[in-house]
Amino acid sequence: MISETNREPEMGLTFEKVWAALQENARQMRESQREFDRLSKETDARMKETDAQIKETAARIKETAAQMKETDAQMKETDRKMKETDRKIGKLGDRLGELIEHLVAPNMIKKFNDLGYTFSKYSIHVIIDDPKLSLAAEIDILLENGDVALAVEVKSKLATEHISDHVARMQKLRRYSDARKDFRKFIGAVAGGIVPPEAKSFALKNGFYVMEQSGDTMTLDIPKDFSPKEW
Protein backbone atom coordinates (compact mmCIF):
# COMPACT_ATOMS: atom_id res chain seq x y z
CA MET A 1 0.00 0.00 0.00
CA ILE A 2 1.43 3.25 -0.97
CA SER A 3 1.20 6.12 1.50
CA GLU A 4 1.51 9.73 0.41
CA THR A 5 2.75 12.66 2.48
CA ASN A 6 1.66 16.18 1.68
CA ARG A 7 4.61 18.74 1.56
CA GLU A 8 4.49 22.54 1.15
CA PRO A 9 6.46 23.76 -1.85
CA GLU A 10 9.91 25.26 -0.98
CA MET A 11 10.09 29.00 -1.32
CA GLY A 12 12.93 30.30 -3.55
CA LEU A 13 14.79 33.70 -3.22
CA THR A 14 12.45 36.58 -3.09
CA PHE A 15 13.01 40.23 -3.90
CA GLU A 16 12.63 41.09 -0.26
CA LYS A 17 15.41 38.69 0.83
CA VAL A 18 17.80 39.86 -1.85
CA TRP A 19 17.14 43.51 -1.00
CA ALA A 20 17.68 42.85 2.70
CA ALA A 21 21.00 41.12 1.96
CA LEU A 22 22.15 44.05 -0.15
CA GLN A 23 21.16 46.48 2.55
CA GLU A 24 23.11 44.50 5.19
CA ASN A 25 26.17 44.36 2.94
CA ALA A 26 25.98 48.10 2.35
CA ARG A 27 25.69 48.68 6.09
CA GLN A 28 28.76 46.58 6.80
CA MET A 29 30.72 48.43 4.09
CA ARG A 30 29.77 51.78 5.60
CA GLU A 31 30.77 50.57 9.04
CA SER A 32 34.12 49.30 7.68
CA GLN A 33 34.71 52.63 5.95
CA ARG A 34 34.03 54.53 9.16
CA GLU A 35 36.45 52.28 11.08
CA PHE A 36 39.06 52.75 8.35
CA ASP A 37 38.62 56.52 8.45
CA ARG A 38 38.91 56.48 12.26
CA LEU A 39 42.09 54.41 12.17
CA SER A 40 43.53 56.62 9.41
CA LYS A 41 42.89 59.77 11.44
CA GLU A 42 44.33 58.17 14.58
CA THR A 43 47.43 56.99 12.68
CA ASP A 44 47.86 60.43 11.11
CA ALA A 45 47.60 62.08 14.53
CA ARG A 46 50.19 59.69 15.97
CA MET A 47 52.53 60.31 13.03
CA LYS A 48 52.20 64.06 13.52
CA GLU A 49 52.87 63.64 17.26
CA THR A 50 55.92 61.44 16.52
CA ASP A 51 57.20 63.96 13.97
CA ALA A 52 56.84 66.74 16.55
CA GLN A 53 58.73 64.64 19.12
CA ILE A 54 61.50 63.94 16.58
CA LYS A 55 61.80 67.66 15.84
CA GLU A 56 61.84 68.45 19.57
CA THR A 57 64.52 65.80 20.17
CA ALA A 58 66.60 67.15 17.28
CA ALA A 59 66.29 70.66 18.74
CA ARG A 60 67.40 69.41 22.17
CA ILE A 61 70.35 67.55 20.63
CA LYS A 62 71.35 70.71 18.79
CA GLU A 63 70.98 72.74 21.98
CA THR A 64 73.01 70.17 23.96
CA ALA A 65 75.74 70.21 21.31
CA ALA A 66 75.89 74.00 21.54
CA GLN A 67 76.09 73.82 25.35
CA MET A 68 78.84 71.18 25.16
CA LYS A 69 80.77 73.34 22.73
CA GLU A 70 80.41 76.32 25.07
CA THR A 71 81.43 74.20 28.08
CA ASP A 72 84.49 72.93 26.19
CA ALA A 73 85.48 76.50 25.39
CA GLN A 74 85.03 77.48 29.05
CA MET A 75 87.13 74.49 30.21
CA LYS A 76 89.91 75.43 27.79
CA GLU A 77 89.84 79.00 29.06
CA THR A 78 89.87 77.78 32.68
CA ASP A 79 92.80 75.47 31.89
CA ARG A 80 94.66 78.38 30.29
CA LYS A 81 94.06 80.57 33.34
CA MET A 82 95.17 77.79 35.69
CA LYS A 83 98.39 77.29 33.74
CA GLU A 84 99.01 81.04 33.80
CA THR A 85 98.37 81.09 37.55
CA ASP A 86 100.74 78.14 38.06
CA ARG A 87 103.39 79.96 36.03
CA LYS A 88 103.01 83.11 38.13
CA ILE A 89 103.08 81.13 41.37
CA GLY A 90 106.19 79.32 40.13
CA LYS A 91 107.92 82.61 39.43
CA LEU A 92 106.85 83.93 42.82
CA GLY A 93 108.20 80.76 44.45
CA ASP A 94 111.51 81.19 42.66
CA ARG A 95 111.78 84.78 43.86
CA LEU A 96 110.90 83.78 47.41
CA GLY A 97 113.51 81.02 47.19
CA GLU A 98 116.14 83.49 46.01
CA LEU A 99 115.20 85.87 48.80
CA ILE A 100 115.49 83.12 51.40
CA GLU A 101 118.85 82.05 49.98
CA HIS A 102 120.20 85.55 50.55
CA LEU A 103 118.71 85.58 54.04
CA VAL A 104 120.21 82.17 54.83
CA ALA A 105 123.66 82.43 53.32
CA PRO A 106 125.16 85.39 55.26
CA ASN A 107 124.65 83.98 58.76
CA MET A 108 124.78 80.28 57.88
CA ILE A 109 128.55 79.95 58.24
CA LYS A 110 128.41 81.36 61.77
CA LYS A 111 125.55 79.07 62.81
CA PHE A 112 127.34 75.94 61.60
CA ASN A 113 130.74 77.03 62.84
CA ASP A 114 129.15 77.43 66.26
CA LEU A 115 128.49 73.69 66.02
CA GLY A 116 132.20 73.01 65.53
CA TYR A 117 132.56 73.20 61.76
CA THR A 118 135.19 75.49 60.24
CA PHE A 119 133.55 76.67 57.06
CA SER A 120 135.46 79.56 55.52
CA LYS A 121 133.42 80.28 52.37
CA TYR A 122 130.04 79.76 50.75
CA SER A 123 128.79 79.70 47.15
CA ILE A 124 125.28 80.18 45.73
CA HIS A 125 123.85 78.24 42.77
CA VAL A 126 126.66 75.75 42.32
CA ILE A 127 126.24 73.69 39.14
CA ILE A 128 127.63 70.18 38.77
CA ASP A 129 127.53 68.66 35.30
CA ASP A 130 129.29 65.55 34.01
CA PRO A 131 127.87 64.12 30.75
CA LYS A 132 130.15 61.07 30.97
CA LEU A 133 128.64 60.10 34.32
CA SER A 134 125.19 61.37 33.30
CA LEU A 135 125.25 63.69 36.31
CA ALA A 136 123.60 67.08 36.48
CA ALA A 137 122.43 68.99 39.55
CA GLU A 138 122.26 72.44 41.10
CA ILE A 139 123.13 73.19 44.72
CA ASP A 140 121.47 76.29 46.19
CA ILE A 141 124.17 76.99 48.79
CA LEU A 142 127.47 75.19 49.31
CA LEU A 143 129.55 75.80 52.46
CA GLU A 144 133.15 74.53 52.32
CA ASN A 145 136.36 73.97 54.23
CA GLY A 146 139.25 71.66 53.52
CA ASP A 147 137.63 68.53 54.91
CA VAL A 148 133.84 68.97 54.82
CA ALA A 149 131.31 70.52 52.45
CA LEU A 150 127.68 71.27 53.34
CA ALA A 151 125.09 71.31 50.52
CA VAL A 152 121.92 73.24 51.33
CA GLU A 153 118.58 73.05 49.51
CA VAL A 154 116.41 76.15 49.98
CA LYS A 155 112.64 76.29 49.43
CA SER A 156 109.97 78.87 50.19
CA LYS A 157 107.85 75.98 51.54
CA LEU A 158 109.62 72.72 52.26
CA ALA A 159 107.92 69.43 51.30
CA THR A 160 108.86 65.78 51.68
CA GLU A 161 109.51 65.42 47.94
CA HIS A 162 112.15 68.16 48.23
CA ILE A 163 113.91 66.00 50.84
CA SER A 164 113.90 62.99 48.50
CA ASP A 165 115.28 65.17 45.71
CA HIS A 166 118.06 66.41 47.99
CA VAL A 167 119.03 62.83 48.88
CA ALA A 168 119.46 62.11 45.17
CA ARG A 169 121.38 65.39 44.80
CA MET A 170 123.79 64.38 47.57
CA GLN A 171 124.40 61.04 45.89
CA LYS A 172 125.20 62.80 42.63
CA LEU A 173 127.55 65.21 44.43
CA ARG A 174 129.40 62.26 45.97
CA ARG A 175 129.87 60.52 42.61
CA TYR A 176 130.85 63.78 40.93
CA SER A 177 133.49 64.51 43.57
CA ASP A 178 134.88 60.96 43.63
CA ALA A 179 135.44 61.15 39.88
CA ARG A 180 137.59 64.23 40.52
CA LYS A 181 139.56 62.71 43.42
CA ASP A 182 137.75 64.97 45.85
CA PHE A 183 137.27 62.79 48.91
CA ARG A 184 135.93 65.37 51.33
CA LYS A 185 132.96 64.45 53.48
CA PHE A 186 129.62 65.85 52.31
CA ILE A 187 126.73 66.62 54.62
CA GLY A 188 123.35 68.12 53.79
CA ALA A 189 120.88 70.66 55.08
CA VAL A 190 117.49 72.00 54.03
CA ALA A 191 116.06 75.46 54.67
CA GLY A 192 112.56 76.81 54.23
CA GLY A 193 110.45 79.86 54.84
CA ILE A 194 107.71 77.42 55.86
CA VAL A 195 108.67 73.99 57.19
CA PRO A 196 105.69 71.68 57.91
CA PRO A 197 106.25 69.16 60.74
CA GLU A 198 106.15 66.16 58.39
CA ALA A 199 108.83 67.71 56.14
CA LYS A 200 111.04 68.51 59.13
CA SER A 201 110.68 65.01 60.53
CA PHE A 202 111.47 63.43 57.15
CA ALA A 203 114.53 65.66 56.70
CA LEU A 204 115.94 64.79 60.11
CA LYS A 205 115.27 61.10 59.46
CA ASN A 206 117.39 61.37 56.30
CA GLY A 207 120.25 62.99 58.21
CA PHE A 208 119.74 66.62 57.08
CA TYR A 209 120.09 69.70 59.24
CA VAL A 210 116.89 71.77 59.13
CA MET A 211 116.81 75.57 59.09
CA GLU A 212 113.56 77.49 59.49
CA GLN A 213 112.79 81.13 58.93
CA SER A 214 112.05 83.13 62.06
CA GLY A 215 111.52 86.82 61.43
CA ASP A 216 114.46 88.18 59.47
CA THR A 217 116.78 85.28 60.24
CA MET A 218 116.97 81.49 60.09
CA THR A 219 117.00 79.22 63.13
CA LEU A 220 118.77 75.89 63.38
CA ASP A 221 116.90 73.46 65.60
CA ILE A 222 118.84 70.25 66.29
CA PRO A 223 117.29 67.40 68.30
CA LYS A 224 119.53 65.82 70.94
CA ASP A 225 119.57 62.45 69.20
CA PHE A 226 120.26 63.89 65.73
CA SER A 227 123.32 62.75 63.83
CA PRO A 228 124.03 64.23 60.37
CA LYS A 229 124.49 61.74 57.55
CA GLU A 230 127.77 61.78 55.64
CA TRP A 231 128.08 61.11 51.92
Q: Is 150 exposed, middle or buried (0-12, 13-18, 19+ CB in 10 A)?
A: buried
The helix/strand/coil state of 11 is coil
User: Does a structural domain hold residue 84?
Assistant: no
Q: What is the pLDDT of residue 91?
A: 52
User: Does a structural domain hold residue 200?
Assistant: yes
Q: How far apart are CA 162 and CA 1, in angstroms?
A: 140
The amino acid at residue 126 is V
User: Does a structural domain hold residue 1?
Assistant: no
Q: What is the pLDDT of residue 28?
A: 86
User: Does a structural domain hold residue 20?
Assistant: no
User: Does a structural domain hold residue 67?
Assistant: no
Domain harbouring 163, CATH code? 3.40.1350.10
Low-confidence ranges of the chain (pLDDT < 70): 1-12, 84-104, 216
User: Does a structural domain hold residue 135?
Assistant: yes
Residue 115 CA neighbour count, 13 Å, CB half: 15
User: Does a structural domain hold residue 153?
Assistant: yes
The helix/strand/coil state of 191 is strand
Q: What is the pLDDT of residue 71?
A: 82
Q: What is the pLDDT of residue 206?
A: 98
User: Does a structural domain hold residue 214?
Assistant: yes
Q: What is the pLDDT of residue 218?
A: 81
Domain that includes residue 212, residue range:
96-220
Q: What is the pLDDT of residue 11?
A: 55
Domain count, the chain: 1
Which pTM does this prediction carry? 0.59
First to last CA, the chain: 151
Give the phi and the psi of residue 228 in degrees, each rounded to 5. -65, 140
Q: What is the pLDDT of residue 2?
A: 45
